[in-house]
Amino acid sequence: MIRRTLPAMLTLLFSAPLLAGQQTLFSFVRPASVVNVVTQDAGMPQYNAEQTAEGEVLRRVVFNPVAKPTLQLTPQAGAWDWSAGRYLTLRLQSAMDWALTVDVQVQGSDGRTLSSRIDLPAGPAQTVMIPLTASSPLSQGMRAGPPMPWAHEGQRLLLASSSGELDLKQVISVSLSIPNPKVAQSLLIEKVGLQDDDLAYQAAYSQLVDSYGQSTRGNWPEKVASDDQLKAADNREQAQLKAWLLERDKLGLDPYGGLQAGPAFEAKGFFRTEKRDGRWHLVTPDGHPFYSLGVNAVAADGGRTYVQGREGMFKGLPAEGDALAAFYGQGNNDDGNASSQGRGFKQGRWFDFYAANLQRTYGKPCSGATEACPPLALDAPRWQTHTLDRLQAWGFNTLGNWSDPGLEQARRMPYTLPLAIVGDYASISTGMDWWGRMPDPFDPRFAMATERAVAIAARDHRDDPWLIGYFADNELAWAAPGDDPKARYGLAYGTLRLTTDVPAKRAFLKQLRDKYRNQEGLSKAWGIELSAWELMEDPGFEAPMPNPEHPEIERDYQYFQLVFAQTYFKTISDALKWHAPNHLLLGGRYAVSTPEAVKACAEFCDVLSFNFYTLKPEDGYDFARLAELDKPVLVSEFQFGSRDRGPFWPGPVEVAREEDRGPAYANFLKAALAQPMIVGAHWFQYLDQPASGRLLDGENGHLGLVGITDVAYPGFVEAVRRSNLQLTTQLRAQLQKPAP
């Protein structure tokens, strides 16, 4: 550890201009005040600053290849009072030819800290602005903010996010570190300062979205500048789709998209599953093998985004009386779940950019001033026909979850449906709760809610052969993220913390009492001092962590979580067998799961379903363990996105460029076909999310086959089509091989 005090240095001829409202706290090249600089596994090898190619003068700091090399700045005495500041500013530059990840931590005298992780790109110096109160793009209503850095008042600015809290009157240190560098990394730094206004931050989010719903901060080949361009793109695509659909007609598919080549399966009039020659298959009502290539959220309402309170973010919103004003609406997505916490602009007036663009492309005239326009103020059958043509021409054969009911009614593609079970039953927090707490399946009210949900879902579909089956909800919080025991056994921990008026808590306590009889037996098995059984009944009971000395703890947690999952899936299975006996139960669309939940799902569901946001399916789960369950598996969501087509978030799985999405899709399908238990894969999703954030939770990802303008991404859809057709060809070849 090296400690230096920086006195006044040589006067230098050049430094970056200050932003309005910015105060320099200290400078590494011409300090106006004295600070202490402490380096740990880092150093400043040169006494003098150095001049960059752009003419700026900064000081080099080298971070050595250890876990956390750090540069720390502290006042020479006492603490800094930053109560007048809104942002910490750092003038930084990567001295490498690549981007650097820099962690910044500001600490107060009471131990509280404010943290920020900066993705500092290669290139010229930029001013990094870190909010001194916790802030992220979610406060502006979106998952990811606009691309950074950007030019403002002659400077390159990078607005960072921050988390934690800080007493701004008692700041005692600022630390910069580079996490786990593999080799020594050099960072150039000029000065540290405070910004006392929001003007730069406001400018970063001003006029961010154009009248078509596209980002104003970039250009790309498919970006639309006029209505005529939309119409021309539509005309070109129609000719291409006709040619591709003619090719599809030659594939030898049954009406449902099943492969007619190879040995036939028994036709039973509805979709079912069958294992043959070591491979699981979905089987069409006509008795042909069917590999489900689907797309989620094929719907015309995905372009809605809240505009109320942030109108300045949008450039060219329609005025009252404008025909496109028909596409305004009202909503409220402030549901109290973790997915809405910390997010601004989650209720009020919204505008539907996608529907407006459909209207511009081929909609019927509708003034909006003298007549009421329907939610999709255009020829809805035209959109449905066009969309189904696209999906089939691109090699898809399934409408995934959350798709437009009108598409299902066309009877051109098989479809799936979600079961949304809602009611006043008890619930349990596992520590994740992204979409809400876990339903308590021991509560009789859950069985009633399930019966009602299944009856409603099956009412119009009971005898429809085009329906493959139902998903048992979506991405429930079976565990919390992470590998620690409180995450892995979040369901057991969360249940034991509740009161005994929660049926799951009573069920867990009964399990333990039946096994151990009294508190003495439990205390011995768990290695705790439990003086009275009633102490476990108290709310907030802290259960012990599993440990090798007391293996019964983990066994008890596992057994409870298994019975919990069995009760949950059996309740849904029983209701489905009564109301919809002809259709499959397609599993729980796992995002986070436990072995107990997956095992119970295999016991009561026809198919296991997983949302795999990974490069290959096997990166998302242990397929050797899945093989032991001997059950078909459906990839109910997967995705690859980039940052170069407008929406600011690439989604959970990022590739470098748009051109990389097609190869990533191909590799995923190839890996999926190599797993004999996988019977299909569904892409998430049809349409890009709004750049300013979707209504539900502010996600603003480039996930789509088509953009917010309804213009398809031609390179990607051509690659997707090739991959889909190649999988169909390879599967046909496998089926035609004589059995060994």
Residue appearing with tokens 């998903």: 471
Give the DSSP H or E segment for 427.
strand 427-428
| Per-residue confidence band for 483, with pLDDT thresholds at 50, 70 and 90 | confident
Domain range 2-204, CATH architecture? Sandwich (2.60)
Give residue-wise pLDDT tens across range 518-557.
999 999 999 999 999 999 999 999 999 999 999 999 999 9
616-635 pLDDT, tens digit each = 999 999 999 999 999 999 99
Decide: helix, strand or coil at residue 513: helix
pLDDT digits (tens, 9 = 90+) for 641-665: 999 999 999 999 999 999 999 999 9
Burial of 338 (0-12, 13-18, 19+ CB in 10 A): middle
Closest by Cα among 132, 300, 344, 317 to 208: 317
pLDDT of 587 > 70? The answer is: yes
Confidence bin at 380 (pLDDT 50/70/90): confident
Q: Residue 134 corresponds to which amino acid?
A: A
Least confident residue range of 30-34, 235-239, 332-336, 404-408: 30-34
Has residue 442 got a pLDDT over 60?
Answer: yes
pLDDT given at position 274: 97
Q: Which helix (H) or strand (E) holds 610?
A: strand 608-611
Instruction: Enter the tokens of residue 435.
Output: 């979409």
**Rounded percentage of the chain residues whose pLDDT exceeds 70:** 94
Task: Identify the band that residue 2 occupies on the pLDDT scale cut at 50, 70 and 90.
Answer: very low
**Are 586 and 604 spatial neighbours (Cβ–Cβ below 8 Å)?**
no
State both tokens at 540.
Answer: 């907030």
More confident residue, 59 or 30: 59
The pLDDT of residue 264 is above 90: no
Q: Which pLDDT score, from 0 to 100, does residue 217 have?
A: 93
CB 645 within 8 A of CB 671: no
Please report, for residues 5, 40, 121, 187, 289, the alpha-carbon distance to residue 101 in angstroms, rounded to integers and kept in the order given.
26, 17, 9, 10, 49
pLDDT value of position 12:
31
Virtual torsion, Cα 587, 588, 593, 598, nearest 10 deg: -20
Token look-up 């429809």 returns 464
The region that residue 411 occupies, defined by phi over 0 for left and psi between -120 and 50 for alpha, beta otherwise, is: left
Mean pLDDT computed over every residue of the chain: 92
Question: CA–CA separation, 640 vs 652, rounded Å?
Answer: 8
CA distance 246 to 705: 21
Region 664-670 average pLDDT: 98
Does position 458 have pLDDT exceeding 50, yes or no?
A: yes
Q: Looking at residue 117, what is its pLDDT?
A: 96
Of 355, 304, 310, nearest to 330 by C-alpha is 304
Measure the CA–CA gap between 153 and 678, rounded to whole angstroms.
Answer: 54
Tell me the domain boundaries of the chain.
Answer: 2-204
Helix (H) / strand (E) containing 487: helix 485-488
Residue 378 has pLDDT above 80, yes or no: no
**Tokens representing residue 345 in the block:** 């602009």
- Res. 18 pLDDT band, cuts 50 70 90: low
Quote the pTM value: 0.93
- pLDDT score, position 261: 80
**What is the distance in angstroms between the CA of the first residue and the CA of the last residue of the chain?**
69
Share of the chain above pLDDT 90, in %: 84
The per-residue pLDDT for range 697-740, each reduced to its tens digit, is 999 999 999 999 999 999 999 999 999 999 999 999 988 877 65
Count of helices and strands (H, E) across the chain: 16, 32
d(CA 54, CA 57): 9
Q: What is the pLDDT of residues 319-363, one digit of tens each?
A: 998 989 999 999 999 988 888 888 999 999 999 999 999 999 987
pLDDT of 404 > 50? The answer is: yes
Longest dimension (CA), the chain: 87
C-alpha span between 718 and 243 (Å, rounded): 13
pLDDT per position as a tens digit, 88-115: 999 999 999 999 999 999 999 999 999 9
Strand partners, 155: 152
Q: How confident is the model at residue 432 (pLDDT cuts 50, 70, 90)?
A: confident
Per-residue pLDDT tens digits for 597-609? 999 999 999 999 9
Q: Return phi, psi of residue 173, to 5°.
A: -165, 155
